[in-house]
Amino acid sequence: MKNEGIEGKVVVITGASSGAGRAIAVAFAEKGARLVLAARRKEALDEVVQECVALGAIAIAVPTDVREASEQAALAEAARRWAGHVDVWVNNAGVLAAGALEDIPSEVNEAVIRTNLLGYVHGAAAVLPLFKQQGYGLLVNNISVGGWIPTPYMAAYCASKFGLKGFSEALRGELTAYRNIHVCDLYPAFLDSPGIQHAANYTGAVLRPAPPLYDPRQVARAVLRLVRHPKDRSTVGAFPHFLHAAFALLPGLTRRITAGLIGTYLKKAEATVHTSGNVLDPVAYGTGIDGGWRSTGLKPTPAKQGLFAALWVAAAILVLRRF
């Protein structure tokens, strides 16, 4: 990067209309960055732009469907025309579909892959020519802990997140000769964002996020740190380290425990109808940063993180005793 400061940097953020994307936009606005904000929801984007401008930043909205390579190319061109260059590109837009694989319509599973995986591919392909021409640039891929541990009943989502790991590694290999172009992966823990409210749900049960839940603003702070000190991969929150280690050491056992916990929850949860959520088309609700779940006691205090880890160990012991 040209310098370690953030003020004045041109930052493109996809999925900026809510959740972590909106938190990232606000964090950069507070540091005086120039922002190009992208998402499908124009009204929500305009709201985020107004918030960023109120904080003293310069920001524009470019409605973009990241599933379409042509729209991502137009996003990069809009940023170039507006500011002359791009310093940071944050691939963040993502969607979720829950349910047994055969219960989820094929077009929904396909849209998850197109958004979460191909959306990042299209974003990188759009901005890398600018980075190479400039000789510098930072690409941030917000992947999630779902790229480290498989989650039953979210198969397409996990496929997209696991795929992103390979995508980033391959891309770093391609960019070996460009010492000032960085590809940085983020692996946040479960976030208290509107993501669950937005999710496609074919489980027949009301979805709740898995504890412990972290503030999306922690993701934003992690992105700011990457601008100052780029690194290949970073985690957000302590719990992902436990999950990563558990799956690396005992993959089969970890899968059985996760499937058991989710299956038990789905059997006991309140019933609801199937919905495609925001996977196929945008929805009008859920435009804030927070999902409101931490107020129900799911905030990740050290004691609770220890408790959740202990519960996983206890579940492992129970599973092992069955074999």
Q: How confident is the model at residue 166 (pLDDT cuts 50, 70, 90)?
A: very high
Lowest average pLDDT, out of 178-182, 219-223, 278-282, 292-296, goes to: 292-296
Question: In this predicted structure, what is the pLDDT of residue 3?
Answer: 38
The CA-atom distances, in angstroms, between 86 and each of 72, 77, 90 are: 14, 10, 11
- Domains annotated for the chain, with CATH where assigned, are 10-321 (3.40.50.720)
Mean pLDDT within 15-38: 98
pLDDT tens string 238-276:
777 788 888 888 889 888 998 999 999 999 999 999 999
The pLDDT mean for the chain works out to 91
- Residue 248, pLDDT score: 86
Instruction: Please give the pLDDT value at position 212.
Output: 86
Residue 127's pLDDT band (cuts 50, 70, 90): very high
Please report the pLDDT score of residue 302 as a whole number: 54
What does the angle CA 99 – CA 100 – CA 106 come to, to the nearest 5 degrees?
85
In 92-154, alpha helices (H): 106-113, 119-134
Residue 4 has pLDDT above 60, yes or no: no
pLDDT at 246: 84
pLDDT digit string, tens, across residues 68-96: 999 999 999 999 999 999 999 999 999 99
Q: Mean of the pLDDT values across residues 157-179?
A: 97
pLDDT tens digits, 268-281: 999 999 999 999 99
Separation between Cα atoms, residue 224 and residue 204, nearest integer Å: 39
At 109 the pLDDT is: 98
Q: Residue 303 pLDDT > 90, yes or no? A: no
- pLDDT at residue number 296: 62
Q: Which residues contact 17 (CB under 8 A, 6 or more apart)?
A: 37, 39, 40, 41, 44, 45, 47, 48, 287
Query: Which amino acid appears at position 313 of this protein?
Result: V
Q: Give residue 85's pLDDT.
A: 98
**Over 60: is that where the pLDDT of 202 sits?**
yes
Question: H helices then E strands: how many in the chain?
Answer: 11, 9
Q: What is the mean pLDDT of residues 205-232?
A: 95
Percent of the chain with pLDDT over 70: 90
- Least trusted range by pLDDT, from 103-112, 229-238, 266-275: 229-238
Residues 59-72, mean pLDDT to the nearest whole number: 98
- CA-based R_g, the chain, Å: 19
Mean pLDDT of 158-182: 97
Active site residues: 157
Q: What is the DSSP track for 212-273?
A: S-B-HHHHHHHHHHHHHS--SEEEESSHHHHHHHHHHH-HHHHHHHHHHHHHHHHHHSPB--
